Structure 1
Amino acid sequence: MSKARKQAAPPAPQPKADLIIEKAQGESDELAMAKAASSPIIQAAMTARQLHGVGGLRLDHETVSIGDHAKALKERTDQVQAGDLGYAETVLAAQAQTLDALFNLMAQRAVHNVGHSLEATERYARMAMKAQSQCRATLETLAEVKHPRVAVFANQANVTSGPQQVNNGTAPHAHGSTAPQANRANELLEHQHGEWMDARAPGQAGRGYQAVEAVGEEHRAKD
């Protein structure tokens, strides 16, 4: 009678290193850890790991570490830095479709509440319009990524025909007057207190020449 051999239990999986930090030559452990802790890729990996634990896709944290998330994120960021925007286009296209589905869902709920609840109809319609606006903005961003606009810089050219007059350094006349300065001075001499100067009218003697009087009529020149 043969004895049944007792099968050995498979070895337990060794715990996977959560994160491997590489440091530069001559760099201290503390500085390397500080750089890793503040790295945007590591921060995003930690957030993604938490989200994948509560979302529809549940990952086993014992087999998928933060280092794995960081490696996946690093590969995608390297592609973007190299000029490959395939991932960005995929994200934008998928989000646009999701927003469009959300728009239709909110629009249908708004229609179902017509005639029953004006408040619910208005609320769902507002949410539908927000989803539609975000979907449009996402598609515009996708189009900008696929076909970026080209900036055009053109020098200004002044093309004219016929005679021209260029006035440089001419000061503007005060109070909107277009009369030359000489004519303006003559107007001030001729017009005072609403009366025009009359060369034939007698004037009053000044204080310094009290003896000087107006010429009499008999000494005036004949017209």
Structure 2
Amino acid sequence: MSKKNPKTLTVERAPDQTSEQATAEVAVNPAMNAAFVVDTYQSNILGDDVDTDALVATLRASMDKSAAGDLSGLESMLIGQATALQTIFVSLAKRAHHQQYQRHLEAFLGLALKAQAQSRATIQAVIDLKFPRQATFVKQANIAHGPQQVNNGHANGGDTVRALENQTEQIEVLEGATHGGKEMDTRATAEAARGNPAVEALATGHRPKKRGR
């Protein structure tokens, strides 16, 4: 029996699928797409002997664990990346220290600081993964002029709107009352009330005479 080529990808086809449909499904499959990229860039690490089918199976298992809520694999990956980036930072920082020319020093030091920043960002991603931030909802209260209080999120929004309209009408009445469709002239002299003789205007003959000095 001939040995299987490790770079040969096995494509499974359902009974109701055509070969073209099965190939198209492979083209958009997340695990297989990731396997192609990983295999391309890992050749200088483990060589060309990594089996493509085994790589796809490993990626699918990792994705299934994440879908089930087990994020330990992602956490381990992020920790590994943060550590690797820290190693790159140290290496580049040491190389920058030994440079004789200013432009070379700035180039290596700039790359070192970029690796350091990426390491810090990866560490923050680990923290966010393990301790998700809780959203805080604050109930806001809007206090209108007068005794009314309007709370945001009130179940009966119609009552709130009507209360505000009534308040607005009251303010308009106080600012300028109308009589017969015309604005009242507050400069006019008010007539004496006929219903109460005690407050009627006094006639000229009833006024007391001025006392002499």
TM-score, normalized by length of structure 2? 0.62
Q: Secondary structure at the match of 1:168?
A: helix
Q: Does residue 1:15 correspond to 2:1, yes or no? A: no
Q: Does residue 1:72 correspond to 2:58, yes or no? A: yes
Q: Which is higher, the Rg of structure 1 or of structure 2?
A: 1
The Cα shift of 1:122 comes to 1.7
Q: Does residue 1:139 correspond to 2:123, yes or no? A: yes
Alignment RMSD (CA, Å): 3.3
Q: Alpha carbons of 1:181 and 1:104: their partners in 2 closer, same or farther (altered >3 Å)? A: farther
Distance in 1 between residues matched to 2:90 and 2:5, nearest whole Å: 45
Q: Secondary structure at the match of 2:168?
A: coil
Q: Alpha carbons of 1:154 and 1:19: their partners in 2 closer, same or farther (altered >3 Å)? A: same
* Partner in structure 1 of residue 42 of structure 2: 52
Q: Alpha carbons of 1:168 and 1:29: their partners in 2 closer, same or farther (altered >3 Å)? A: same
* Partner in structure 1 of residue 83 of structure 2: 97
* Partner in structure 1 of residue 136 of structure 2: 152
Distance in 1 between residues matched to 2:33 and 2:170, nearest whole Å: 65
Listed one character per residue, the Cα deviations across residues 21-74 of structure 1 (whole Å, up to 9, x for unaligned) are: 223342223212211122122122122222232x121142xxx43222111111
The Cα shift of 1:81 comes to 0.9
The Cα shift of 1:168 comes to 3.1
Aligned residue identity for 1:56: I
Distance in 2 between residues matched to 1:102 and 1:169, nearest whole Å: 71
Tell me whether 28-37 or 92-101 shows the greater mean CA deviation: 28-37
Q: Alpha carbons of 1:24 and 1:140: their partners in 2 closer, same or farther (altered >3 Å)? A: same
Q: Does residue 1:39 correspond to 2:29, yes or no? A: yes
Return 5+ residue gaps in structure 1 as ranges.
1-11, 172-178, 186-223
Q: Percent identity?
A: 30
Distance in 2 between residues matched to 1:92 and 1:28, nearest whole Å: 40
The Cα shift of 1:119 comes to 1.7
Structure 1: which 4+ aligned runs deviate by more than 6 Å?
A: 179-182
Q: Secondary structure at the match of 1:42?
A: helix
Number of aligned residue pairs: 160
* Partner in structure 1 of residue 203 of structure 2: none
Return 5+ residue gaps in structure 2 as ranges.
149-163, 184-213
* Partner in structure 2 of residue 109 of structure 1: 95
TM-score, normalized by length of structure 1? 0.59
Q: Alpha carbons of 1:169 and 1:136: their partners in 2 closer, same or farther (altered >3 Å)? A: farther
Q: Secondary structure at the match of 1:20?
A: coil
Higher helix share: 2
Listed one character per residue, the Cα deviations across residues 64-96 of structure 1 (whole Å, up to 9, x for unaligned) are: 432221111111111111111111111111111
